[in-house]
Structure 1
Amino acid sequence: MTEYGGDEQFGRWLVRRLTVVARLVRLPNLFTAPPDVILGAAIVTGLGRSVHVSSLVGLSVASMLLYAAGTTLNDYFDAPVDADERPERPIPSGAISRFRALLLGTSLLLSGVSIAFLASGVRAGVVSIVLALLVVGYDAVLKGSVLGHLAMGGTRGTNVILGTTVALRPTELPADVVSIPVVVALYIAAVTYMADGETEVGGRGGVGVAAAGGVLAAAGVVGALVATPPLPLDSLASVAFLVAFVVWIGRPLSAAFADPSPDTIGPAVGACVLGLVPLNAAFAGTTSLVWALCVAAFFLPALGLAEVFDVS
């Protein structure tokens, strides 16, 4: 009886610890990272290169670890501010110490870079180091500035480029192909600008910037479809996911613009982050339906987990 009680107590303790970590790493958001990498792989197949599935899986795992490192280190550096503005977060609430969060974030960062090296060699390792530097730079120094917004966007664009390293060096990418990660980066930079006003009232300007980023992203997909028209079925998939993206982010952005407050801007930020998945699927659809579906498959787990854990 004592042994059973001990096992049950340990089980509850383990669930609590895992829940804390899930909140710290923004578990739903982790499923938005592999779609970036898969989009990068789709891009290089469109250039006639082959992709090794094992390398793609490894880079997807690396991207998730680097994302988890970013959110964890974000909470580490933001702990003093969160104590006033977001006391429910793991560190200010006392669910985890700031030092342990630092150790966890650093471990995740190093693990992500290491796995990228193992998955696709030096080219992937170098890109993952750039990604790690952008993560740390944003979390520690640049947050709240224009450079910070661009750095956060840059992490997503670099994540797409990380996916291209399954077959190419970044320097081998044509200029028109590079425009896709640039559009993704600018979209997330705009969303980050809005997120900076999440805890403030009257952030209509930030919502407008995020909406403009969404329009730019949609225009990027249309441009890709026009520049290199894919097969009809692939085009249909791309347009369908583009419509899903616009609808998904449109409603919360409209609500936030009409009544800008923490209660509306927070959900708009979360919707725009999750909206990156259908956006990536729309871009991937310009290559093939199969790649679009591979990207879109990550939306459901992200959406389901967002019902339990915070996205922003």
Structure 2
Amino acid sequence: MRLPALFSVPGDALAGAAASGARPGARTLLAIGSSLCLYEAGMALNDWADRDVDAVERPHRPLPSGRIRPSAALTAACALTAAGLALAARAGRPALTVAAPLAATVWAYDLGLKHTPAGPVAMGTARGLDLLLGAAATTGHTGRALPSAALLGTHTVAVTTVSRHEARGGSPLAPLAALATTALLTRLVAHRPAGSATGRRPAAAHGLMGPGPARHHPGHPSVAALLTTACAAAYAATTARPYVHAALNPSPPLTQRAVGAGIRATIPLQAALTARARGTAGALVIAALAPLGAKFAKKVSVT
């Protein structure tokens, strides 16, 4: 179930809440719980669906090695999907309205779309829907969070495209395209901050992240703007070198390293999206997850 990748999940809901103009609350926590369950359901289902391929390409994985029974993996996927939908239902009907197609996308990807040209788009759609789940649970609306969902989904499409070659290696075009996508997203996030020039955001009740930010003096960068720039730079720095190495030598080890970097880079991207929406405290919480994910990635493969 790849614990290190799990740290890239909570930021989706927090970024969605910030993009919708609200502070995280109890329903946001339910959305995070739902996201974690659906993400891990996809992990278990992925290994169940790929068990025959993994027996040839990656016999050390849990199912082909015999450490985990296929029936246990499928049962875990079903149970986690049910738990994810139940948590979304507790967060309200709008959240369940987003969680249901999210779960369907996860299952469709693992069972059929993964090895088709639509695979990366399906994965990007799932990540975008996960961000919208946080917005729907927090405010009941998703419209204002659509731009952030599109940016996060685009990053996921790029990483997934690279991952299609991680077992056998392949063309340098995928990591080069991912590198260009990262550069574009970094520019869009850092130079097109959400909200007004004065840093004001819609009024909302106090939530888990405390009161909203005070106005900053016109002409001076706000804390949110500085944090956005820092997180965007961290996002670009996390992926740049691995993508370049994979482009110069698209071997399986370097391609897998690039995919792992792309997954880890999801966290600073989420933090940047949250900060640009004036969710400074939420961005700091998300950023704090990055070193934890990196620590566990030394013990368990992210891919």
Same fold (TM over 0.5): yes
Task: Give SS of 1:225's match.
Answer: coil
Superposition deviation, residue 222 in structure 1? 2.8
**Do the aligned partners of residues 126 and 226 (structure 1) sit closer, same or farther apart at CA in structure 2, a change above 3 Å counting?**
closer
Task: Give SS of 2:62's match.
Answer: coil
Superposition deviation, residue 169 in structure 1? 3.4
Residue 42 of structure 1 corresponds to 18
**Do the aligned partners of residues 89 and 219 (structure 1) sit closer, same or farther apart at CA in structure 2, a change above 3 Å counting?**
same
Greater share of residues in helix: 1
Equivalences for 1:58-137 in 2 at 5 Å? Answer: 58-118=30-90, 120-137=91-108
Q: Which has the higher contact order (CA 8 A, sep 6+)?
A: 2
Counterpart-to-counterpart distance in 2, 1:226 and 1:183: 13
Contact 2:28 2:138 in 1 (8 A): no
Residue 311 of structure 1 corresponds to 302
Contact 2:23 2:279 in 1 (8 A): no
Residue 173 of structure 1 corresponds to 143
Contact 2:41 2:78 in 1 (8 A): yes
Task: Give CA deviations for 1:211-264 in whole Å, capped at 9, x if unaligned.
Answer: 232123213303432774445111001100111111111111111111110010
Equivalent position amino acid for 1:289 in 2: T
Contact 1:191 1:209 in 2 (8 A): no
Counterpart-to-counterpart distance in 1, 2:92 and 2:66: 40
Residue 212 of structure 2 corresponds to none
Equivalent position amino acid for 2:48 in 1: Y
Identity, in percent, stands at: 31
Contact 2:163 2:256 in 1 (8 A): yes
Say if 2:161 is the partner of 1:161.
Answer: no
Task: Give SS of 2:193's match.
Answer: helix
Residue 297 of structure 1 corresponds to 288
Equivalent position amino acid for 2:290 in 1: F
**Do the aligned partners of residues 50 and 285 (structure 1) sit closer, same or farther apart at CA in structure 2, a change above 3 Å counting?**
closer
Counterpart-to-counterpart distance in 2, 1:223 and 1:138: 33
Gaps in structure 2 of 5+ consecutive residues: 200-215, 217-221
Counterpart-to-counterpart distance in 1, 2:231 and 2:35: 23
Equivalent position amino acid for 1:147 in 2: A
Equivalences for 1:1-312 in 2 at 5 Å? Answer: 25-45=1-21, 49-52=22-25, 54-118=26-90, 120-170=91-141, 173-174=143-144, 177-225=145-193, 228-229=196-197, 230=199, 232-286=222-276, 287-312=278-303
Task: Give CA deviations for 1:46-90 in whole Å, capped at 9, x if unaligned.
Answer: xxx4542x2111211111111000011000000010000111110
Residue 21 of structure 1 corresponds to none
Equivalent position amino acid for 2:69 in 1: S
TM-score (norm 2): 0.88
Alpha-carbon RMSD: 1.6
Equivalent position amino acid for 1:239 in 2: T
